[in-house]
């Protein structure tokens, strides 16, 4: 695991440099994307570079990590809506090349079709990740087996509490989500994980140097040969 530690602005720019280099070398790259507060600085920088003509998403394919069960694409807290607003609608990407798991089709067939679509696209070149305070990746909560592929999960109380800020009340926070599994994530050729703020310090330490255990899902990344972790001080 390579650690890159600087200010939040600088790590967003350094992570954007990785995407710029990838897209120069492979314009039809496959990107695994994430939602949450953490990647917003990176997305803003990618939008800026695209508008400045420095990068193009014209041939890129994307797969997002996760989606809330029960929210359709038009819901302003759905992850499809988040991605459209913060990235896709602002760059030159083909919308039909962007994939976010459906929050409305929770069938096993839909979950396995998501994994198959990633494979058919050639696999993910860079998977972007945040980390939950409980060590979750995507919505793989503590206890999820490392071998999991895309699946429907029940959200823990701590995750629902952490996301309550985006909803009118706790009851409105969905109880389930569809998420790429840990194995799906680990199949990416490169992983960029970003974490900002003191509240993430303890879990980042466990991820980097604690036991490798499903109780800390992000610890599985110690087993991946190509992980870059972007942190503020």
Residues marked active site are found at: 66, 134, 136, 141
Chain residues 143-202 in contact with ligand PGA, contact rule CB under 6 A: none
Longest dimension (CA), the chain: 46
Q: Interface with ligand PGA includes 210 (CB under 6 A)?
A: no
CB of 38 to ligand PGA, least distance (A): 3
**CB of 139: closest distance to ligand PGA in angstroms?**
8
Residue with tokens 């926070």: 173
CB of 95 to ligand PGA, least distance (A): 24
Q: Which of residues 29-88 bind ligand PGA (CB under 6 A)?
A: 36-38
Residue nearest ligand PGA, CB atom distance? 36
Interface with ligand PGA (CB under 6 A), residue total 7
Q: Give whichever of 59 and 183 is closer to ligand PGA, judged by the CB atom.
A: 183
Determine which residue in the list 132, 135, 174, 217 makes contact with ligand PGA, applying CB under 6 A. Answer: 132
Among candidates 67, 63, 217, 65, which has minimal Cα distance to 132?
217
Query: Which range of residues in 45-53, 85-93, 124-132, 221-229 is near ligand PGA by CB under 6 A?
Result: 124-132
| C-alpha span between 39 and 45 (Å, rounded) | 10
Rule CB under 6 A: is residue 217 a binding residue for ligand PGA? Answer: no
Smaller CB distance to ligand PGA: residue 6 or 92?
6
Shortest distance (Å) from residue 136 CB to ligand PGA: 6
CA-CA distances (angstroms) from residue 166 to 37, 108, 143, 174, 198? Answer: 11, 28, 26, 11, 21
Q: Does 131 bind ligand PGA (CB under 6 A)?
A: yes
Q: How far is the CB of 43 from ligand PGA (least distance, A)?
A: 12
Cα 132 to Cα 130: distance, rounded to the nearest angstrom: 7
Question: Quick one: which segment of 53-61, 84-92, 100-108, 130-138 binds ligand PGA (CB under 6 A)?
Answer: 130-138
The alpha carbon torsion through 220, 142, 153, 121 (nearest 10 deg) reads -10
Can you give the binding site for ligand PGA, defined by CB under 6 A?
36-38, 130-132, 136
């Amino acid at each position: 695991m390579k650690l890159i530690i600087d200010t939040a602005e600088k790590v967003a720019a350094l992570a954007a440099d990785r995407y710029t280099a990838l897209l120069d070398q492979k314009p039809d790259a496959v990107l695994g994307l994430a939602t949450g507060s953490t990647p917003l600085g990176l997305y803003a920088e990618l939008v800026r570079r695209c508008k400045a003509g420095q990068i193009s998403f014209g041939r890129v394919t994307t797969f997002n990590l996760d989606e809330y069960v029960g929210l359709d694409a038009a819901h302003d807290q759905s992850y499809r809506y988040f991605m459209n607003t913060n990235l896709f609608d602002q760059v030159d990407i083909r919308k039909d090349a962007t994939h976010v798991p459906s929050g409305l089709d929770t069938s096993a067939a839909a979950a396995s079709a998501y994994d198959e679509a990633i494979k058919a696209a050639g696999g993910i070149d860079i998977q972007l990740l945040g980390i939950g305070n409980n060590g979750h990746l995507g919505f793989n909560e503590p206890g999820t087996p490392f071998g999991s592929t895309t699946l429907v999960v029940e959200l823990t109380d701590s995750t629902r509490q952490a996301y309550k800020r985006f909803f009118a009340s706790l009851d409105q926070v969905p109880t389930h989500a569809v998420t790429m599994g840990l194995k799906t994530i680990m199949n990416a050729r490169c992983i960029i994980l970003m974490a900002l703020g003191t509240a993430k310090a303890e879990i980042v330490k466990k991820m980097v140097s604690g036991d490798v255990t499903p109780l800390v899902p992000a610890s599985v990344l110690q087993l991946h040969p190509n992980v870059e972790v972007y942190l503020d001080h």
